[in-house]
């Protein structure tokens, strides 16, 4: 069974303080992953106060690129440093994690269509490793470099690797309705369009709305849930909100 799991940047960092890891939250997530001991797990993590802070500082987003090499490097370096911390913690917990940096393997063409070769990730999985990807900057034809979000990586990995289960671990227990209750299932974006707002913290990748849109693009259901439900998801149980990809 192949599982694709994203740890949101707001889960593993303090999004209100630039380039600060939330040690307790990250350790709890790492412990849950280590205890689950899944055979085929691919991890993706968001940028949180690392990547989003630097991307906002240098004016780079999903649609706005930059040819400024130092600025592009600052964004990538922030994500690389966060990735280093996560990989090191996972290895310390006995998880055979290895990094995969999207800047080195992915590219967008002049229409912003993404090419993400999966051979490195697929081979790592086959050899018993846990690939750890992250939101990043990638070269884009005629635009310099633009952001690739963790949510986009999740959808590409889930489709390309024929994932059996997909989960996005956020700081909230699921997608809320107008009354503040978790919506158990989303079958189309129109169902939640009116209730999904922007993130209160700096986020250049669209927040919860883009998470839902990305998961609806899958051919199978996925789940959005909070950190307290991570062990349940890793154990194969239902958690949070089910986003019914393929329903639209």
* DSSP string across 47-116: -HHHHHHHHHHHT--SS--B--HHHHHHHHHHHHHHHHHHHHHHHHTT--EEE--HHHH-EE-TT--EE-
Is 0.95 topped by the overall pTM? no
In a domain? residue 199: no
Is residue 162 domain-resident?
A: yes
| DSSP designation for 237 | -
Report if residue 240 sits inside a domain. Answer: no
Would you give per-residue pLDDT tens digits along the chain (248 residues)?
999 999 999 999 998 899 999 999 999 999 999 999 899 999 999 999 999 999 999 999 999 999 999 999 999 999 999 999 999 999 999 999 999 999 999 999 999 999 999 999 999 999 999 999 999 999 999 999 999 999 899 999 999 999 999 999 999 999 998 888 999 999 898 888 888 855 444 454 457 887 788 788 888 789 999 999 999 999 999 899 999 876 54
| C-beta separation of 133 from 5 below 8 A | no
Q: How many CB atoms lie within 10 A of CB 36?
A: 17
Asked whether residue 134 is domain-assigned, the answer is: yes
pLDDT at 234: 97
Residue 140 φ then ψ, to 5°: -130, 125
The annotation status of 15 as a binding-site residue, yes or no, is: no
Q: Known binder of ligand: residue 6?
A: yes
Whether 207 has a binding-site annotation, put simply, is: yes
In a domain, 74, yes or no: yes
135 is in an annotated binding site: no
Q: Is 45 annotated as a binding residue?
A: no
Determine, yes or no, domain membership for 189: no
Does 245 fall in a domain? no
Q: Which helix (H) or strand (E) holds 225?
A: strand 222-225
* DSSP, res 193: T
Based on the number of CB atoms within 10 Å of its own CB, is 101 exposed (0-12), middle (13-18) or buried (19 or more)? middle
Closest CA to 230 of 9, 28, 21: 28
The reply, when asked if residue 7 is annotated as ligand binding, is yes
Q: What is the pLDDT of residue 202?
A: 45
Q: Is 128 annotated for ligand binding?
A: no
> How many structural domains compose the chain?
1
Q: Evaluate whether residue 79 is within a structural domain.
A: yes
Domain harbouring 118, CATH code? 3.40.1160.10
DSSP assignment of 115-167 equals E---HHHHHHHHTT-EEEEE-EEEEETTTEEEEE-HHHHHHHHHHHTT-SEEE
- 211 labeled part of a ligand binding site: yes
Domain housing 20 = 2-174+225-231
Ligand-binding annotation for 48, yes or no, is: yes
**How far is 43 from 4, CA to CA, in rounded Å?**
6
């Amino acid at each position: 069974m192949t599982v694709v799991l994203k740890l949101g940047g707001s889960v593993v960092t303090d999004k209100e303080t630039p380039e600060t890891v939330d040690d307790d939250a990250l350790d709890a997530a790492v412990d849950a992953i280590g205890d689950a001991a899944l055979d085929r797990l691919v991890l993706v993590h968001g940028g949180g106060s690392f990547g989003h802070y630097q991307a906002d500082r240098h004016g780079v987003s999903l649609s706005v690129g930059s040819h400024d090499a130092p600025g592009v490097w600052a964004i990538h370096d922030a994500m690389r440093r966060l990735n280093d911390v996560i990989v090191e913690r996972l290895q310390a917990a006995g998880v055979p994690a290895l990094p995969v940096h999207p800047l080195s393997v992915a590219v967008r063409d002049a229409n912003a269509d993404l090419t993400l070769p999966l051979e490195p990730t697929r081979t790592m999985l086959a050899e018993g490793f846990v690939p750890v990807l992250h939101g990043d900057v990638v070269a884009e034809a005629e635009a310099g470099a633009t952001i690739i979000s963790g949510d986009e990586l999740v959808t590409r990995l889930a489709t390309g690797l024929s994932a059996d289960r997909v989960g996005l671990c956020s700081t909230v227990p699921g997608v809320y309705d107008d009354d503040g209750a978790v919506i158990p299932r989303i079958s189309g974006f129109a169902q939640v369009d009116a209730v999904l707002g922007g993130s209160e913290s700096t986020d250049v990748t669209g927040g919860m709305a883009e998470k839902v849109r990305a998961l609806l693009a899958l051919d199978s259901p996925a789940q959005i849930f909070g950190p307290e439900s991570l062990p349940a998801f890793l154990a194969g149980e239902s958690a949070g909100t089910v986003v019914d990809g393929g329903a639209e």
